[in-house]
Amino acid sequence: MPVVPRLDYDSGVPVYRQIFDAVVLALARGELQPEEQLPTIHDLARSLRINPNTVARAYRDLEQAQYVVAERGRGTFPARRPRPPKPTRESLLRSIAERALGECARFGLDQADLVEFLRKGTA
């Protein structure tokens, strides 16, 4: 995996969820390609110095959410996701944008702040 998650033990977010979110973000950014194998549970646990059960839970949740596919004997890979039709994409994007703007408002940010941030890139 090109991006090994940076764990923040003080964030209040469980470690398995931080791994889940890091994989989803890597997929969204195109940093993780469909043919690219994720690290094995034990390799990732070793590199992050965490219990393998924590990684296993993150991978299981990723598979249940259909972000990844575990292939017996081969490993875990990003799932191939068909792109939704244009009307559905627009509806999904509208819903995402509305949630993002709602979160911005909670923290005193506005639409211009969000647009500027997205134009710069989220990296």
Q: CATH no. for residue 60?
A: 1.10.10.10
9, part of any domain: no
Residues 72 and 104 in one domain: no
Is the pLDDT at 85 greater than 90? The verdict is no
7, part of any domain: no
105, part of any domain: yes
More confident residue, 86 or 106: 106
Full residue range of the structural domain in which residue 116 is found:
86-120
Best CA proximity match to 70, nearest among 81, 80, 82, 59: 59
From 12-21, 35-44, 54-63, 77-86, the region with the lowest mean pLDDT: 77-86
**What residues form DSSP beta bridges with 70?**
76
Residues 96 and 59 in one domain: no
Fill in the amino acid letter for 25. Answer: L
What pLDDT sits at residue 86? Answer: 73
What pLDDT sits at residue 71? Answer: 92
Domains held by the chain: number = 2
Distance of CA 123 to the CA centre of its chain: 13
Residues 22 and 50 in one domain: yes
What pLDDT sits at residue 82? Answer: 64
Residues 47 and 96 in one domain: no
Q: What is the rounded distance in angstroms from the CA atom of residue 98 to the CA atom of residue 30?
A: 23
Over range 67-96, report the average pLDDT.
84
Over range 20-37, report the average pLDDT.
87
pTM: 0.71
